Amino acid sequence: VVDFLMHYGDVFLGKTTVLAKDTPAFIANRIGVFGIMAIFNSMEKMGLTIDEVDALTGPLIGRPKSATFRTADVVGIDTLVKVAKGVADNCPNDEARNIFTIPSWLETLVNNNWLGDKSGQGFFKKVKTPEGKKDIQTLNLSTLSYEPRKKPKFATVETAKPIDNLHKRLKALVSGTDKAAEFLRHFHYALFSYISFRIPEISDELYRVDDAMMAGFGWEIGAFESWDTLGVANTVDAMKKAGYQVAPWVETMLAAGHTSFYKVQQGKKLYYQQHAMNESEAGNYKALPGGDA
């Protein structure tokens, strides 16, 4: 039955069909909403604005133009809150459960019915200027008032933006020394830590996590592929120094001499198997379905 449904979704519906375990929020929403909530947490600590965060979390890093806050407005802020609360309530053993705690300002938005596009205002609001022109203003989270949008400028972004290749651009972005680079390092460290602990909870195969995020959230490359891009071993060392945990299986993988989650061999793209039905296959690489390099 599962094989039929996977095949039907792919061939007849033309969709990327991702097999997920029956866990709260499945794969895409579990990872995607964690990412959004982690961003909320980081931006408060670093004093970043909505415009700054959206400038850093959109096409610059291979994500949709809607980035973080525009995505929340489109989906519905109340929906975002419900999913976050659902994970917090139903995943008591999630090591990052505290990240799903709803900030007071987010609760205020829901209570005010500022839910995004569905209610006419959320993190952004369409207004008319004194000249009668339409304009989009951004919510100031400190004052909860709307202000004209401001185009952020970061030295790291100015340096990395002209780089067409996403993999090279990501490396340049996290190598910077300004606030933007610091934010993006913590953004990726938190994401990498979280996905490492979700295997095999939400999926036995790590590539399904990447497939779900690319198909469901419009990411250009998945989280594990991003980790490969930044260098697994070097990033793990940096994560530990910054206070982020890594699931033991990642360190086991590295200790065995495997330095990436994906690799190409004899024209085939392979993925690392942390868990396998056949125990002899665990800790080795397996060809991706249809994985011609």
Per residue in 110-136, pLDDT (tens digit) is 999 999 999 999 999 999 988 889 999
Q: What is residue 235's predicted lDDT score, i.e. its pLDDT?
A: 98
Q: What is residue 2's predicted lDDT score, i.e. its pLDDT?
A: 67
Q: What is residue 290's predicted lDDT score, i.e. its pLDDT?
A: 77
The token pair that represents 42 in the structure block: 């980081």
Question: Residue 8 pLDDT > 70, yes or no?
Answer: no
Q: What is residue 11's predicted lDDT score, i.e. its pLDDT?
A: 72
pLDDT in tens, 151-176: 999 999 999 999 999 999 999 999 99
Q: Determine the Cα–Cα distance for residues 164 and 5; give it in Å rounded to an integer.
A: 37
Average pLDDT over the chain, rounded to an integer = 95
Q: What percent of the chain has pLDDT over 90?
A: 88
Mean pLDDT of 126-151: 94
Q: Determine the Cα–Cα distance for residues 187 and 190; give it in Å rounded to an integer.
A: 6
Domains of the chain: 2-292 (1.10.1040.50)
Contact 191, 185 (CB under 8 A): no
Residue 272 β-bridge partners: 285
Q: What is residue 6's predicted lDDT score, i.e. its pLDDT?
A: 64
Q: Determine the Cα–Cα distance for residues 165 and 154; give it in Å rounded to an integer.
A: 19
Q: Could you say which DSSP state residue 127 is in?
A: E
Work out the pLDDT band at 14, boundaries 50, 70, 90: confident
Q: What is residue 9's predicted lDDT score, i.e. its pLDDT?
A: 75
Q: Determine the Cα–Cα distance for residues 25 and 12; give it in Å rounded to an integer.
A: 25
Q: What is residue 109's predicted lDDT score, i.e. its pLDDT?
A: 98
Among the listed residues 178, 176, 198, 183, the one whose alpha carbon sits nearest the alpha carbon of residue 245: 198
pTM of the model: 0.95
Amino acid at 100: F
Mean pLDDT of 196-205: 97
Work out the pLDDT band at 282, boundaries 50, 70, 90: confident
Q: Please list, in sequence order, all residues whose beta carbon lies within 8 angstroms of the beta carbon of residue 46, skipping any fewer than 6 positions away.
A: 179, 182, 183
Q: Please list, in sequence order, all residues whose beta carbon lies within 8 angstroms of the beta carbon of residue 11, skipping any fewer than 6 positions away.
A: none
- Count of residues in the chain: 293
